[in-house]
A = this chain, B = another copy of it.
């Protein structure tokens, strides 16, 4: 299974290049497990599905520590049938069996409870796309039920769900939505926007 993300970091500051170059150092611990490629629009990370959201969390928290308004935007994907299998994407733990939706909702909530806080408040919104299945809305509604119990649920918006809280549980919630909903070996995409230090009052 191929898994990875196209991500971009947007510091709303004249010194955006300096903030990005400083934040990228937060990816160092992940480099041995990832293939990383950058162009003028985004950075591709390809690697184990469980490490995608921790890597994005650490990158984003590093940028947000500048105090400037920063946004991370990412297209995250697993199981795309148009991508070749890649050994670097092997899950770190064995794929869970195809559990009933109810059990997956409970396991996801338990994983978020165990997430360590980072001290960085963030707002995040995302859309989950379980592709190629006939029952994609069932998986989405099951995921929304988990999100409402996550402790970082902010509200449902048109086309997406908004989370708010510490970056630790927020990115853990995103990871659980991505890993546990949609078929285990199916094609799932997730479209993420995370924002910190916005001058707009929520």
Q: How far is the CA of A123 from the CA of B41 in the complex (A)?
A: 7
Stretch at the interface among A24-32, A67-75, A95-103, A173-181: A67-75
Q: A39-B200, A40-B198, A44-B158 are in contact. Are A13 and B10 (CB under 8 A)?
A: no
Closest B residue to A80 by CB, please name it. B159
- A interface, size bucket: 35 or more
What's the least CB distance linking A131 to chain B, in Å?
5
Instruction: Count identical subunits in the complex.
Output: 2
Query: Chain A 183-197 against B: per-residue CB contact (8 Å), 1 yes, 0 no?
Result: 000000101010100
Q: Please report which residues of chain A, range 85-108, place their CB below 8 angstroms from some CB of chain B when the two chains form the complex.
A: none
Interface stretch, picked from A54-62, A111-119, A133-141, A145-153, is A133-141
A110 at the interface (CB under 8 A from B): no
Tell whether, in the assembled complex, residue A132 and residue B136 are in contact, meaning their CB atoms are under 8 Å apart: yes
Residue of B nearest to A17 (CB): B199
Contact of A82 among B11, B42, B125, B137 (CB under 8 A): B137
30 pairs, CB–CB < 8 Å, chain A vs chain B: A6-B158, A8-B73, A10-B12, A10-B71, A11-B12, A12-B12, A12-B14, A13-B14, A16-B69, A39-B157, A39-B202, A40-B195, A40-B202, A41-B123, A41-B124, A41-B162, A41-B195, A42-B125, A44-B157, A46-B158, A75-B160, A75-B191, A80-B159, A81-B137, A127-B189, A129-B189, A131-B131, A132-B137, A159-B189, A191-B191
